[in-house]
Amino acid sequence: METALAQPKSKMWGGGKSPFNVSYGKLMMWYFLMSDSFTFGAFLISYGSIRFSLNRWVDHNYVFNKFPFTDANLPLAFVSLMTFILIFSSVTMVLAVHEGHKMNQKGVEKWLVWTILGGLAFLSCQAFEWTHLITHQHEVLVDGVLQHWGTTTSHNPWGPDVMYHGRMVATPGPVAFGGYFFGITGFHGFHVFTGVVINTIMLIKTKMGDFQKRGHYEMIEKAGLYWHFVDLVWVFVFLCFYLI
């Protein structure tokens, strides 16, 4: 009777090749990136709804026209450099992963260093951009009185110009601009900083030979997935804030 009741155990997956033919760590990283993309998506959709509900917004060619160490009017040149730096760091991350597949420890170390430097350069550029926007004062006509404003979460000096005593003076612009700009670019910058920290840890572990002892560099691949995600998100941030 007991023999008759005994049933052989069946496998949980018996349909051939698993659709998730990746390691647990990679799968969890993809889940995390998917959830994080929802967060960025919600922020950008919220920004877009406000942006297109208003008749007037800031002129990007006028707001983002400064370049370090020069007074020349170079619209979007600096942010284009920032974008190039981040994309280039994504290329070096690909090369680090490629060297990991070949079990080339020195190659992984070299390209991780370049990736970290790219991330630090991007953060330095963003720090300059924020500092310039916050500290650079503009004359703004507020209730008939001239005031001097920088760009903050509560002050937007990039409104329409009006005639005041024979000269054109700016008026306050939509206050939502500063909140969304500093909020979303700051949130992205935090992700870049986190990626730099992660890649630095990966570099230290690589130098210590941890991955060489394991026989694989999968952790570099997972760090690379995160870094590419940060790069991809910047493309959408760049499009929304600097081009549209």
* Helix spans in the chain (H): 2-5, 24-51, 60-63, 77-101, 105-135, 176-207, 210-214, 218-238
* CATH class of the domain at 25-39+60-137+175-243: mainly alpha
At residue 132, the pLDDT reads 94
**What SS3 class is residue 138?**
strand
Blockwise average pLDDT, block size 10, the chain, 244 residues: 45 54 83 95 95 89 90 92 96 96 95 97 96 93 91 93 87 94 97 97 96 92 96 95 89
Q: Kindly list the domain boundaries of the chain, sorted by start residue.
A: 25-39+60-137+175-243
At residue 3, the pLDDT reads 45
At residue 18, the pLDDT reads 56
